[in-house]
Structures are given as C-alpha cells and as structure tokens.
A = this chain, B = another copy of it.
Amino acid sequence: MRTLKVELGDRAYPIHIGSGLIDSDLLATVIRGRQVLVVTNESIAPLYLDRVVSALKDFDVATVILPDGESHKHIGTLDVIFSEALTQRFSRNATMIALGGGVVGDMVGFAAATYQRGIDFVQIPTTLLSQVDSSVGGKTGVNHRLGKNMIGAFHQPVAVFIDTDVLTTLPEKEMSAGMAEVIKYGLLGDDEFLAWIESNVDLLMAKDAEAISVAIERSCQMKADIVARDEREGGVRALLNLGHTFGHAIEAHLGYGGWLHGEAVGTGMVLAARLSQAMGMLSDADVARVIAVCERVALPTEPPAGMTPDDFMTHMAIDKKNIDGRLRLVLMHSLGDAYVEDQAPNELLLDVLNACCR
C-alpha cells in the first residue's frame, strides 16, 4: 500500500492506494461516530457492497443503492440519501461512504456536505476515472438541467481508499475514460509523465497492476499538490479542467449519459490542443501526439456527429470558470505546460470548431 497526503491544514486527509483496500481494517479507523451510511449504485452493489459492510461490523450501518448513471446525478436523487439518513435518525456525527465511480462520489460528497450542514465522508472510488480524479480534492455536486455540476460544494473527504483490484471488473470503455484523466495530468503539467504514459499505454490498458498503480499514484500526487495549493480554484486548480470546458459542452449537448465524462474530456483535450495550435503555441506534431495517445486508449477525438459550433458556444457560455460572462479556457503553451486563457480570439475558436464538427 502507498499513502499520499492532501495537505489542507485541519482538513488534510490520506489517499491510500493498494490491493484489497475495499474491506481494509483501516476503514474503521477513519470513522468518528457509530453511524455509517454506505451509498453505492445498482451496478457496484452486487460486486462490493457486502465486503464494505463486513468491514464495518462494529458500527450502525445503513445502505442506499442508487440507480446507475450520470442521468441520475441531480438534486432529486439526493433525496433518496437524505431520506434514508433521516429515517435512520443519523446525526451530525454520522459518516457517509461513497462506494462507486465519479457520479456516486460527487453525489454522496454533496449529500455529506449538506446533511445537517456537513458531516464526514469517505471515498472508495471503483472506476479508474474516480480513482485518479474525482475522489480527490473535495469537489462535490450534481448537475442541473441547464448545466453540468452547477450545484455543489467544496467538501473534503476524511480519507480516500483506492483499491486497484476493483479495476479487474471495470469495462474497457470505463478504462478509456479513466485514461483520459491520466493523460490530462501529463498534458497539463508533466511532459515526462506524458512520455511514460505513451511508453506504457499497452500495459495500462491491459490493467497491469504495477503500471496502473504508478499511473494512479502519480495522478493523485499531482492532483493532491494542486489542490493543496488552491483548494477552491482561485488559481492553479483551474488547470485541472484541461479539456473539460469543451467536454462539458459535449456532455450537455448529448444529454448526460450519451458519452462517458472521460470520453468527452478526451475530445475536449484534442480541441484544446487544436486551439493552442491555431494560436501558435503547439506544433502540428504536438497535436498529432495528443490525438495519437487518445486513440491508443480508445478515446473519441472528434465531436459527436451532428454537434455544431453553435452548440459548443451555447453550452460553454455557462461554464463555471467564466468570470462576468467572459469565456475562460485551459490551453497549452507546450505539451506539459497548460495555462488559463481568457482572451482566446473568438474567430480562431470558431475556426477550430468548424474544422472539427461534422
């Protein structure tokens, strides 16, 4: 087991990475009270719920099984969690455990942030994407029909348990989606890591335990460092949204659940690279390299059929990074060196979208 720490003062917490952590004895040690609500979804429950509950035999444990999928990530689904906690008369001293992918983690984190004005929660992410990204950093929330992740809170978990064994049951498509976020860390701040990913991509997609552990640890370390420097996204944390502004537009356009989040981010990173090229920062070869690594992990690299530049512009106009109505994008000076751009020329953006939309 490897343990990283997210350095956030009195909200600091550990990220444990290793084999068999889903029912580790460590889990019981991070829970303060006696009441625990384990929340998962209908796909994960038959695989892992019993094991987590069995690791909590000294607690008053209740469970909630949510429907699976991004389309359920809205404020109405939260009520299922609140109602169970209130029916069980769980107090402010209770702990929620999020057992699942990013959707479960975001919703349970937000439920914990707002149940009785905030209680503890633990992340046990079961997809590669949530292991390397959404389970770390305290961003929680739900979608609104007018925008993705528009309602939420910053609420840090008390611990994150990343069990690398669970990836054996993860569908290929979800592996690809997770790899999008792994590639993102290389592109945004570490060209050596990008080269390492390119060299090890076949091992990673074959779920080689050692390669996957390295990729997860390096991704989590980068995210932990960035979050420690900028918990509430006043500055450097915005870089973690590389590919996400375009990606969110794709997800909003398709209706949540059309593409996986990671798939949309894959295409979003390609679009960010193309705009960076149009603005004279990346070379043709750089863009080709971004497309190639995305293709090798089986990510889409073009917008969905039928999506127009207008569709992109409409959805991107309500992105959370925007300030006073001005569009802010994460672009790249070079591969491994991203920055926030709020002066991207509109005509170049439209050129790129016109060239890519089919």
A354 at the interface (CB under 8 A from B): no
A3 at the interface (CB under 8 A from B): no
Interface residues on A, range: 35 or more
Provide the A187-227 mask, 1 if CB < 8 A to any CB of B, else 0: 00000000000000000000000000000000000000000
Q: Please name all residues of chain B whose beta carbon is closer than 8 Å to the beta carbon of A324 when the two chains form the complex.
A: 33-35, 91, 93
Partner of A115, one of B82, B86, B115, B151: B151
Q: How many angstroms from the CA of A199 to the CA of B119 in the assembled complex?
A: 43
Nearest chain-B residue to A79 (Cβ)?
B75
Partner of A152, one of B75, B87, B117, B144: B117
Q: How many angstroms from the CA of A292 to the CA of B334 in the assembled complex?
A: 76
Nearest chain-B residue to A234 (Cβ)?
B92
Q: How many angstroms from the CA of A320 to the CA of B118 in the assembled complex?
A: 11
Q: Please name all residues of chain B whose beta carbon is closer than 8 Å to the beta carbon of A325 when the two chains form the complex.
A: 35, 89, 91
A83 at the interface (CB under 8 A from B): yes
Greatest chain B CB density within 10 A among A118, A141, A151 is at A151
A322 at the interface (CB under 8 A from B): yes
- Is the Cβ of B153 less than 8 Å from the Cβ of A117? yes
A150 at the interface (CB under 8 A from B): yes
- Is the Cβ of A153 less than 8 Å from the Cβ of B150? no
Q: Please name all residues of chain B whose beta carbon is closer than 8 Å to the beta carbon of A43 when the two chains form the complex.
A: none
- Is the Cβ of A82 less than 8 Å from the Cβ of B144? yes
Tell me how far the C-beta of A152 lies from the nearest C-beta in chain B, rounded to whole angstroms. 5
A168 at the interface (CB under 8 A from B): no
A64 at the interface (CB under 8 A from B): no
Q: Please name all residues of chain B whose beta carbon is closer than 8 Å to the beta carbon of A304 when the two chains form the complex.
A: none
Q: Which 6 A-B residue pairings sit nearest by Cβ, starting from the closest?
A: A86-B146, A117-B152, A116-B320, A93-B323, A91-B322, A89-B318
Q: Please name all residues of chain B whose beta carbon is closer than 8 Å to the beta carbon of A92 when the two chains form the complex.
A: 320-321, 323
A317 at the interface (CB under 8 A from B): yes
> Known: A89-B325, A117-B139. Contact between A82 and B320, CB under 8 A?
no
Provide the A69-102 mask, 1 if CB < 8 A to any CB of B, else 0: 0000001001100110011010111000000000
- Is the Cβ of A118 less than 8 Å from the Cβ of B153? yes
